[in-house]
Every structure is written in structure tokens, then in C-alpha cells.
Amino acid sequence: MVQRRHLLAAGLALAPAAALAGCGLDGGGSGADGESGGPTPFTIYTARDKDLAEDVISKFEAANPEWEGMATLLTLGAQEALERIRAEKSNPQGDIWWGGTRQQMALGASDGLLAAAPQAVVDAVPEDYRDPEGLWVGEMLLAELFMVNTEMMSKDEAPQDWDELITFDLKGQLIIRDVEASGTMRSIYCAMIDRLYDKDDSAEAGYEWLAKLDANTKTYAANPTDLYQRLSRQEAPLSLWNLQDVMLQKFGDFPMLDAVVPASGAPILVDGVAKVAGGPGAAGADLFLEFLMSPETQGTLAEERYQIPTIELTSEPSWLAELNLKEMELDWDRIGENENDWIAHWASDIKGKG
């Protein structure tokens, strides 16, 4: 991710959208039909914000009216989606997995759970942000940072960097999304281990840091909605979360929530989308992926839904430059190799023991 780092500080890179449209991703439908000769139902497993996902599906149906009502949406945590697709491998029920980290997508690919996306989709995404065989593509980049209830704690009063989460007098001041089920939280916790790993060539310093964070954590929320509601009810003022969802809540149902960018840098995740191998609605999956990854759809998501796309656009979203995002340097290969072990250790030996 070194190649993208300087672009995040300055905003999105610019490139002619026409070049991407020439790949066949022009936002319109190709009218692909199922084997029966017409549109057939397809199912999307998503970890994305439900309102966002439903809005994209509505626009997909408007662009492809013959496919209206064909998409079924099931909202799951990213890890839950991976485990469901893995459990259904012998009899796939889903067609698209929308929302998962690079590490999770890579596991799905290595387990034979994913099929190649349409070539136009693969070609539109830089090589750094996709599987070499096109078994998954990065849809967007997610910055991981702090979420604060500004009615309880101003942004200036909130911690300004990671280590302040454990050195400030913050006992009982954090509510954290259930880590094991969440791709966002798994990545944040692994990033906290990885950033300290080289100190002793060991995960121990990271485990110690997470133990101190656990001591300051009041509770672990069952799902994102539970997290937002607990914070809005002022059960605690702080959490860790991704930038896009914080911004969606700020300008949605929870205006008291806001984002604080850590001074030393934020982990920047590749959040992906993939086609499920052997899914019953492959034609719809292909058509939806082409629509989702088109410059038109991605431009709208960037401007209206606070998304940092992996494909290049003709102009940057107006809100991005103001954030002054700095990327935390991490070894994502090491994180991918150790994520399951690190999170399992946290769950068994750290969680709830502070």
C-alpha cells in the first residue's frame, strides 16, 4: 500500500473516467440473462451499511429494470459472511460477498470459495488492490480511526493518537464492536499488534497494549447498530471504527457522532467485493459487479457516501482533502498470516480480563 500513501495525503488521484468507461463499466446494464433465458434471482451477502447497500441496489434496478426485485440482500459482519460462504461451499446460496478485508478475501480465494469477477471489473482496479486472478477486487479504502460522541466529549478533548487510548484516564469510556465478528475490528486490533511487532519480533507488546485497552472498555457491542445506539445513549463517549461508517452516522441518524483522525496515522484497509464460486445467480452477480464498480457508481459513493474508491475518478470528493489522512505503515502480509491466531489469543486470554 506504499504506492497509495502519498495520494491519501493529497486526495484522490485523477484520471479520465472515459478510460474506465471504455472497459465496459459505464454504469448501464448489459442485460445479462440467466440460463433460463431471463433475469434470475441473486443474493448479496454484505457487511456494508444497509442503507447504502439498499440505495445502490435501487439504482442498479433503475439502470436495469428487467432485474427489478431479483436481488436479495443479507447483512452480515465481514467475518460472518466468510464463515457462511465457507459453510455453504458444497451448496452455495449466495452470489456476491460485498464488504470484507483484504485478509478475509484472500482466505476466501485460497479456500476455493470465490470465482473471478468480470474482466472489465478486474481491469478497472489497480493490481495492488485485487487478487492476481481476479477472485476479489478492492472496492474502496477504509481508514480506521476514533469515533466520539461530541455531546459527551469534544473532538479536542478526545484522544488524539492511539497510545492515548490507554494512557488517558479512560476506564469505562470505550464501547467496542464485537471484535471476532467484525472485519473492521479484527483489522484494527491486528494493526495495533503489528505496529509494535518489530520491537521484540513478537506479538507480546501488542497483546499488552490490547490488554490495557480492554481495561478501558466498558462493553463489546453485538453489531454496528448496537454500537451506535449505545454511544448515542451516552453509555460511553468513545469507540474505534471506520471513517465511512462514522461519516454516514454523523449525517444520518446519529449526528452527535464524529471522527477523530489519529495523529500518527490510521490503518488504511482494502475493503473488497467478490463473486461466490458456484452461486446460483451468477449472471446477476456479474451485472451487479459491473454496475457497482463503474465510475458513475463509485463517483456517487465517493461524493455522497464518504467512500475512498480504489478506481481512479475525474475529481476527488470535496470532503476528503479536509481530513488530512495519514496512513499507518503496517505489514499486511504479516497480518494476513497471523490474524486468526492473534484474534483467537485476544478472545481467549485478553477479552474481559482487564
Return per-residue pLDDT of the chain as tens, 354 residues. 333 333 343 344 434 344 444 445 655 544 444 455 589 999 999 999 899 999 999 999 999 999 999 999 999 989 999 999 999 999 999 999 999 999 999 999 999 999 999 999 999 999 999 999 999 999 999 999 999 999 999 999 999 999 999 987 999 999 999 999 998 999 999 999 999 999 999 999 999 999 999 999 999 999 999 999 999 999 999 999 999 999 999 999 999 999 999 999 999 999 999 999 999 999 999 999 999 999 999 999 999 999 999 998 888 787 887 888 899 999 999 999 999 999 999 999 999 997
**CA–CA distance, 144 with 195 (Å, rounded to integer):** 14
Quick one: cell of 79? Answer: 467475518
Q: Quick count: other Cβ atoms within 10 Å of Cβ 158?
A: 23
Report the pLDDT value the prediction gives residue 9, as an integer from 0 to 100: 39
Cell triple for 272: 473488497
CA–chain centroid gap for 297, Å, is 17
In this predicted structure, what is the pLDDT of residue 235? 98
| Alpha-carbon Rg for the chain in angstroms | 20
Which residues, at least 6 apart from 125, have a Cβ–Cβ distance to it below 8 Å?
A: 137, 138, 293, 310, 311
Q: What is the pLDDT of residue 27?
A: 53
Please state the pTM of the whole predicted model.
Answer: 0.80
Specify the amino acid at residue 252.
G
CB atoms within 10 A of CB 22: 13
| Predicted pLDDT at 320 | 83
- Position 12 scores a pLDDT of 42
